[in-house]
Chains A and B, each alone.
Chain A
């Protein structure tokens, strides 16, 4: 898996490409951790190129939700494919994180 990092106006966009499973979750974990260390707390996860996410992959995001909220930041997911959304929904994650359908909605959410 590859993660494309892009600095936006007021937030960071991470685009995981491929599968996010137990192995690649370590990479994602290191990536988010690195950003939080630099006090970058507004994260946009672009899931348009995410083909598959396993429970361990979800675990990475789950493990950072509390910390991001405590630091006054937000984590927003966008462009979820159907199968990835199913996994989010099954677990109930859609109840606690913001999921939007397209990229244009992201920016205003961070500024609010």
Chain B
């Protein structure tokens, strides 16, 4: 910039000198160099200014160009006024210096304006840069340089360049200009308002350009400059370079105006497409699972209405297999929807056809015409998730035949996207609830594991062994041992059914067992009271099978009642024989009145000796089935016990379960508990 201004100053000085002392040859050379430097320097400076701008904003750029032009025009007017004011006051000799200076300042403004035009339009032309565009631009730039050099030479050696060259330069310029000016791809990315603004600004730029050209034509006269007075400066206007940059700016503006003007009607399609893409994006985001159903359906309806240019629409979602409800509606009243929906079973139709249902004109349709609806076009696009009809999007318009095939395709793809989103949202929801459920089960399992004794009260007389597992996360098997001095109260039971309900009942049984243990009742009394308690607590149809026993380590006696539970095995070391203990009564909670005591008559009483083994268990052990659906059964059980009778209580328990697992493989589907008591 400084260089340009410096060179401009130099030019003024040269001019003055030339007027004063004539034109010696050495001055010519310097004059030429400075002139070329002035043009090129200004051009480089302006080029830099506009290539620094990173984001191409057509409107802002055009505004700048217009403002640059207006500032230049204002400058010109200021020069004119200054001339008029000073003309009266100053001597004519002063004016011969000042007037050319004013003139050159105006020229400078013109040059800056048109160069700005060139380099701003360069950005437009190179929008979405390709190698070819860049090449043609560079050729254009090189061509301009050549023109400038030639022009300046010509300025000082008139007729030095043959006419044929002049003509060919003009033709080449026209060709290049035409080629570059067709690069108006940026227009496609403007919306309607931006296009209107750009149109206006281009017109203003042309107006400004024309103003400059006329002003320059008239300025010498206005400034009272004689031909001699302005000297070479006047000839500057004849420079082809100046003409070319002006022609370029004006032509490109004019072509842009035409392109914008003819593109105005198509704006809606571009806008539609870009909003469709935006809708797609929104639905895509929904697929990530951050949206709920209403958001997805809202987006779907908006997008569908937008792409079909429809005034009304609604989304109907199936509640159960038969009923459905309007989830969202836009631009239409509930009654109007009802009238249309009542006219024809559209949901049923789309479910049957598995594709959309379109009414081109409701007034001519055999059933819709009775609805007397203001909406003539009606589209019902079904939403299928996993092949199940979930509902439908309805789009209605007041004009008949208003849905094109392209629109139907768009809506159809929206629906597909949305149904994926809905499916995903469902999956996420399921995963969340499953996780929550598993978390709760985990807690339940922890609580339950605390219901079973965590330490076995082994003593010098009794040695316990326990193996216990649940088929599901939580089970219904229960066992407990309470020691009260010399008396051990032992219970093993199984609640009918499996899973959560059984587990809750198990917790109740623990309460009952511990409460009744405090009462220090006999086994028979215990069973009677427990039956009463369970009858009050358990749901009808649920019951408990229980084996309850007392072991007195002092008298070495045990008394046992089987209440519907699996019979226990007793190994007598003295007889070296395993017997089955089955005396007892019904399961608890089956007979819920006082008649229960009728069934409570018998119990097993044994005086135990060292080496005897009592095996208590739940039905999961004997009912484990192999692949042939055969049960493990009592016989195999006894065989394992027989084979392991010399081992410790825990080892016996594990030996039994090993045998069961070997037999059933994966076939253990129930909870199982083994409680082995070895008498010492």
List A residues at the B interface (Cβ < 8 Å). Answer: 22, 29, 55-56, 58-60, 62-63, 65-66, 90-93, 95-96
Contacts and interface: CB of A to CB of B under 8 A. Distances in A.
Nearest to B498: A22
Contact of A92 (B494, B497, B587): B587
Contacts of B619: 55
Nearest to B494: A55
Interface string B353-373: 000000000000000000000
B543 interface: yes
B590 A96 contact: yes
A18 to B, nearest CB: 13
A62 B545 contact: no
Contact of A91 (B497, B590, B593): B590
Contact of A62 (B563, B565, B566, B590): B590
A38 B394 CA distance: 48
Nearest to B625: A52
A63 B497 CA distance: 14
Interface in B574-618: 584-587, 590-593, 599
A59 B591 contact: no
B69 interface: no
B541 A96 contact: no
Where chain A touches its partner, the secondary structure class is: helix
What 4 pairs across the A-B complex have the smallest Cβ distances?
A63-B541, A92-B586, A55-B496, A59-B541
A34 B599 CA distance: 31
Interface in B155-187: none
A60 B494 CA distance: 17
A92 B541 contact: no
Contact of B540 (A63, A90, A91): A63
- Among B541, B542, B584, B619, the most chain A Cβ lie within 10 Å of the Cβ of B541
B586 A95 contact: yes
B72 interface: no
A59 B543 contact: yes
B590 A93 contact: yes
A55 B588 CA distance: 12
B496 A92 contact: no
B564 interface: yes
6 contacts: A56-B496, A63-B540, A65-B590, A91-B564, A93-B590, A95-B599
B496 A59 contact: yes
- Among A92, A93, A95, the most chain B Cβ lie within 10 Å of the Cβ of A92
A93 B494 CA distance: 16
Interface of B: 494, 496-498, 540-543, 545, 563-567, 584-587, 590-593, 599, 619
Contacts of B498: 22
B138 to A, nearest CB: 82
B543 A96 contact: no
Where chain B touches its partner, the secondary structure class is: loop
Contacts of A63: 540-541
B496 A90 contact: no
B621 to A, nearest CB: 14
B541 A93 contact: no
A91 B587 contact: yes
A55 B541 contact: no
A67 B505 CA distance: 23
A66 B592 contact: yes
Contacts of B567: 90
B564 A62 contact: no
A95 B563 CA distance: 12
Contacts of B585: 92
A58 B599 contact: no
A60 B541 contact: yes
A63 B494 CA distance: 18
Given A22-B498, A55-B619, A90-B564, 6 more contacts: A59-B496, A59-B543, A63-B540, A91-B543, A95-B586, A96-B590
B35 to A, nearest CB: 102
Contacts of B565: 90
B592 A92 contact: no
A22 B494 CA distance: 15
A92 B599 contact: yes
Contacts of B584: 92
Contacts of A65: 590-591
A58 B496 CA distance: 9
Contacts of A60: 541
B566 A92 contact: no
Nearest to B590: A62
A14 B542 CA distance: 22
A96 B567 CA distance: 19
Given A55-B497, A59-B497, A91-B590, A96 B599 contact: yes
Contacts of A90: 545, 564-567
Contacts of B592: 66
A58 B589 CA distance: 12
B436 to A, nearest CB: 24
A65 B542 CA distance: 13
A71 to B, nearest CB: 15
Nearest to B564: A91
A7 B567 CA distance: 39
Contacts of A91: 543, 545, 564, 586-587, 590
A65 B595 CA distance: 13
B582 to A, nearest CB: 8
B564 A96 contact: no
B542 A96 contact: no
Contacts of A93: 586, 590
- Among B494, B542, B563, B593, the most chain A Cβ lie within 10 Å of the Cβ of B542
Contacts of A95: 586, 599
Nearest to B496: A55
A69 to B, nearest CB: 10
B534 to A, nearest CB: 12
- Among B542, B563, B590, the most chain A Cβ lie within 10 Å of the Cβ of B590
B560 to A, nearest CB: 15
A62 B531 CA distance: 14
Contacts of B564: 90-92
A23 to B, nearest CB: 11
B566 A96 contact: no
Nearest to A67: B540
A56 B496 CA distance: 6
B563 to A, nearest CB: 8
Contacts of B542: 59
A107 B446 CA distance: 53
Contacts of A58: 496
Nearest to A63: B541
A23 B659 CA distance: 29
Nearest to A56: B497
A22 B599 CA distance: 27
A58 B541 CA distance: 8
A59 B619 CA distance: 16
